[in-house]
Amino acid sequence: MRIATWNINGVKARISGVLTWLSQTSPDVACLQEIKSQDEGFPAGPIEELGYNVAVHGQKGFNGVAILSKHPFDEINARLPGDDDDDHARYLEVVIPAGGTIVRVASIYLPNGNPMPGPKFDYKLAWMERLESHAKTLLMQEEPLILAGDYNVIPEDEDVYDPEAWRDDALFQPETRGALRTLHNLGLTDAYRACHTEPHKYTFWDYQAGAWQKDNGIRIDQLLLSPQAADRLAHCEIDRFTRGWEKPSDHVPVWVELNV
């Protein structure tokens, strides 16, 4: 079972690339972030024609997450628990039956947090605390769980082309990285790092200053696996090639293969 995550940076602008990537790579499940679309405006039709079920938690103009699945959904749950006043569309969780078992998958678009210090950074840290609390609850169910998405956190120095260039950014603060390590320490496995030890492999390149051409990237898109999912981990890769397409997202897909 192949499960992928991709921040597409606007579904209307990237729908052609999304359809091409789905056709070429055929993931069983694809978690999308930053769709920048309300539910009713999401172009589900052409995606469904490729054989996918579509779940969307959207928002006008920004944020928004979606999950595409070749398998039917047993459950669909939108919004991260813990703050009823938070109206950002950043979390979507589904349960999918596959291969005689069930897999729980979440599509996550974690807040950026810039500029910092300030309310946006405070919101980012509070959101990460809520994610930690919810992850604890999910892990108690002892089922294959994949928390996939754009975490907007650079985990380590080896995950950025130049650590000094990011020292003052919210994505690279000690508090931010510490909150991500807290998630890992719950028993969640960074799928890419479990399969690859080589440094300087990236999932995001800014549109500015020739970042793509210079390979000035960062690794901020992750799939975190529960122990039951990590036991089934066969492979994890980055689809770097999509960044070279016409009108690309500034992120590229990351995917895992699980034995189910």
- Which residues are annotated as catalytic? 109, 150
Closest CA to 136 of 198, 182, 86, 205: 182
d(CA 258, CA 249): 26
Find out whether 234 and 14 touch, Cβ atoms under 8 Å.
no
Rounded CA gap, 255 and 66, in Å?
16
Residue type, 101: T
**Residue written as token pair 């919004």:** 79
Using a 10 angstrom Cβ sphere, with 0-12 exposed, 13-18 middle and 19 or more buried, the burial of residue 187 is middle
The C-alpha angle with vertex 51 and arms to 68 and 257, in degrees rounded to 5, equals 55
Q: Which residues contact residue 204 at a Cβ distance below 8 angstroms, ignoring those fewer than 6 apart?
A: 7, 217, 218, 219, 220, 221, 250, 251, 252
Q: How far is CA 121 from CA 61, 118, 155, 160, 171, in A?
A: 21, 6, 17, 20, 10
What CA–CA distance (Å, rounded) separates 150 from 9? 11
Tokens of 163: 């650590």
